[in-house]
Amino acid sequence: MNGWERVDYIKPAPDFHFTPSFGFDETFDLVGAEVRNLSENVGLTEVCGFNRIEITGRDAHAFLDRMICGRLQRREGRVGLSYLLNHQGNIKGEATIANLPRSDRGPARIWYGSAAASEYHDMDWLTAHVRPEEDVHLRSLTNDQTILVLAGPKARAVLAECARGDWSAEAFPWLSVRECHVGHAPATVMGVSFSGELAYEIHVPNASLYAAYLALREAGERHGLTLFGTRAVESMRLEKGFLHWKADLITEFDPYETGLSRFVAPDKGDFIGRDALIGRKADGPRRKLVTLRLQTASAPAHPGASLMFDDRVVGTVTSAGYGHRVRMNLAYAFVQPDLTHIGRVLQADICGDLIPAEVIPPSPYDPDFDLLRNRA
């Protein structure tokens, strides 16, 4: 990821190798086991390379409010998810905005976090839009810190055993941020999740990574902690309707077409892309992002694959994979608006075969789908 190496999956033995294939391979059951233990107990992984920009200055919040299309989270100790648009009103980027707790040692700090691949993209975009009269300072922390993700129903118990403080749901609710120590390692902990489970992002300086890792592994032994990789993360985020930048979040489409209307506040005042977005909404969607359930267990869909209806191409797959918790072969795709109602069956081109693909709610965890409740 942007030059950073991440764990793909955990090998059962050093000499294990999977067979290259366009279908599901020998890692299928391994990833399923990683997901299963995480959803029943607790899992740990490292996601190095995520873009992290520290923003300071008296105009920092006003600057960010102009950059994003929704309501800006300004509360100290809280985290918000935000979207940036280009001047055509389409999606430019996605960011978590974390307002670190104030201390007597320095100014208010905001952490802007985004995908690893957006490191230079986002810094360039933000820097280009700081006005000469604004007191705004941007500093990259991407190469200085890494992230350990602790996820699963027992994650809170593990964190409480190796980090001081009250980690109860009342003292540290979802979308909170706090500075602390994990073992001997200084850390900034955020209550956020890309898996749909109870989870924490534990940001630590690179030099303290191993110390934090050992503390978490030791605390996790009695709670059944195991490691997991990016294939497990991909499976879980597809189930929850969470989108990837430059896969599902692309500049060809606006937030309404991408199903992100709850993150848009056109009445809040001026922001980049606002006028264009209002015009685009009035014109109506050209495509809409949907979740599909594929009627095959042999292979996933692949990004760029076509969706067919009545012998014509009506959409394109953006990302896909198997959801091990809901036991579904899932795909996201941009589809013609008139073909996006729940229950519509299209055909997905998977390695030359046309496979039935049913439009389902954005997440199989949707209450209307009545499969699984949201553990987070």
- pLDDT recorded at residue 1: 86
CATH code for the domain defined by 287-376: 2.40.30.110
Buried b / exposed e across 227-260, counting CB within 10 Å, b at 16+?
bbbebbbbbbbbbbbbbbbeebbbeebbbbbbbb
The confidence band for 11, taking pLDDT boundaries of 50, 70 and 90, is very high
- Residue in 240, 334, 351 with CA at minimum distance from that of residue 300: 351
Distance CA 117, CA 130 (A): 22
pLDDT, mean of residues 172-199: 96
Distance between CA atoms of residues 358 and 330, nearest Å: 10
Q: What secondary structure does DSSP assign to 106-167, as a single string?
A: S---EEEEE-GGGHHHHHHHHHHT--TT---EEEE-TTTEEEEEEESTTHHHHHHHHB-S--
pLDDT at 376 over 60: no
Query: Residue range 97-113: average pLDDT?
Result: 88
The partner residues of 294 in beta bridges, in order of sequence, read 329, 357
What is the predicted pLDDT for the residue at 372?
38
* 3-class secondary-structure state, position 318: strand
Angle between helices 155-162 and 209-220 (to 10 degrees): 120
Average pLDDT, the chain: 94
112 pLDDT higher than 70: yes
Judging by beta carbons within 10 Å of its beta carbon (0-12, 13-18, 19+), is residue 127 exposed, middle or buried? Answer: exposed
186 near 163, Cβ under 8 Å?
Answer: no
Q: What's the average model confidence in pLDDT over 90-107?
A: 89
pLDDT at 371: 45
Domain 28-49+144-237, CATH among 3.30.1360.120, 3.40.50.300, 3.40.50.2300, 3.40.1000.10: 3.30.1360.120
Q: How many CB atoms lie within 10 A of CB 28?
A: 16
The helix (H) or strand (E) run that includes residue 219 is helix 209-220
- The residue extents of the domains of the chain are 28-49+144-237, 51-140, 287-376
Distance CA 70, CA 313 (A): 33
Neighbour tally for 179: CB within 10 Å = 14
SS3 312: strand
Residue 334 near residue 316 (C-beta atoms within 8 A): yes
| More confident site: 79 or 362 | 79
What average pLDDT does range 327-336 have in this prediction? 97
Tokens of 118: 């957006």
The predicted pLDDT at position 42 comes to: 98
pLDDT at 365 over 80: no
CATH number listed for the domain at residues 51-140: 3.30.70.1400
Whether residue 373 has pLDDT greater than 50? no
Helices and strands of the chain, counted as H and E runs: 7, 17
Residue count of the chain = 376
Identify the pLDDT of residue 80.
Answer: 97
Amino acid (1-letter code) at residue 156: R
Q: What is the average per-residue pLDDT within 225-252?
A: 96
Q: CB under 8 Å to 125, separation ≥6 — which residues? A: 84, 92, 93
- Rounded mean pLDDT of 66-72? 98
**Average pLDDT estimate for 273-300:** 97
Residue with tokens 């802007």: 112
Tell me, rounded to whole angstroms, the distance of Cα 223 from its chain centroid.
26
Q: What is the pLDDT of residues 141-153, one digit of tens each?
A: 999 999 999 999 9
Q: Where are the beta strands (DSSP E) in the chain?
A: 42-46, 51-56, 79-85, 91-99, 110-114, 137-140, 145-151, 177-182, 185-190, 199-205, 225-227, 288-294, 306-309, 312-323, 328-335, 345-350, 353-360
